Amino acid sequence: MSISIGGSNVNRANLSVLVVHSNSMIMNQIRQSLKTLGFMKITSCPSHMAGLDRIKTRTFPVIFMEAKATDMPVIEFVCKVLEMDGESAMIAITAQPKIDDVFGFLKHGGKGFLVCPFTADIVEETLVRAKEGPPISEAVLSAPDRNTAFSGVILNNLYRNAVLMRQVREFPNLQKELARSFKQFSESCEMGKIFCEGGENFLREKIMETCIARANVASTRLGRTRKKLMKKRLNEAGEEVDDYED
C-alpha cells in the first residue's frame, strides 16, 4: 500500500510517522490503527517537547499530535515543526474539540484533525485528506468573518454542481468530475457546520444574505444588459436615444 507524498507514491511501510500524545491508551490505539493500515515505522512520545527532540534528528512526513498543550502550547509546537520541516502533515487528535482551537491549529499550518473515538478507516481517511491539502480553503482560513467565507465557498460549490449537471447531459464523460464536485460541496457544508461562528443558524442566515446579495448583482447586470440592448435597437431604428431605465 502506498500514499502520495509530494506528488509521488511512497510505500507506507517505509514512511516514518510520529505520534505525540500524553494518553498512553490513545497513543496505542493510533499505533495499532497505523499498523493495520500498513505503516511500520512509528515513533511515539508523551509530550510536544519530546516530539520536537525527535524531529530534530529525523524527518517525519506525518505527525499525529495531541490537540491540547502538554509541556508547550500546541500552536507553538506547530510553528516550530514547520520551521524545521515545512512538508510535515500534522493531524491534531482530540476527544472534545473546541472549534476555535481546532480552527487556529489549521490556520497555523495543521492539515487535519482526528476526533476520538476513531477506527483505522477513519485514520486512513483523515491521513489521505491531510496529504491532499488543507481541509479548509485558504480564503476561509484568512477571512475575518468565517461565516461569510464559508457561505461563499458553499454557494460557489453549489453553482459549480449546477453547471456540471447541465454539462453532463451533453457530455456524459464529465460524470466523474460531477461526482468530485458533489463531494467538494458536501465537504464544504460539513466544514461550515463544524467551524461556523455562533452555530448553524448564524451560518444559514449568512448563506441567505449572500444569496440575496448575489441575486441583486445578477439583477443589476441583467438590467444593464437590457438597457444596452434597448439603446442599440433604438439607434438601429434611427430614433433619438434617451437614458432608458430598466
- Per-residue pLDDT of 191-205, as tens digits, reads 888 788 888 999 999
CATH number for the domain harbouring residue 20: 3.40.50.2300
Domain identity same for 221 and 177: yes
Domain identity same for 120 and 143: no
Antiparallel, parallel or unpaired: β 8-11 and 2-5: antiparallel
Q: For residue 102, what are the contacts with CB-CB under 8 A and spacing of at least 6?
A: 67, 92, 94, 113, 195
- Domain end, chosen from 101, 135, 169, is at 135
- Domain end, chosen from 102, 118, 135, is at 135
Domain identity same for 67 and 82: yes
Domain identity same for 74 and 128: yes
Looking at the whole model, is its pTM more than 0.95? no
- Kindly state whether residue 243 falls inside one of the protein's structural domains: no
- The boundaries of the domain holding residue 166 are 139-235
How many domains does the chain contain in total?
2
Backbone angles phi, psi at 110, to 5 degrees: -65, 155
**What is the per-residue pLDDT across 4-60, written as a single tens digit (0 to 9) for each?**
444 445 688 889 999 999 999 999 999 999 999 999 999 999 999 999 999 999 999
Structure letter (DSSP) for residue 89: E
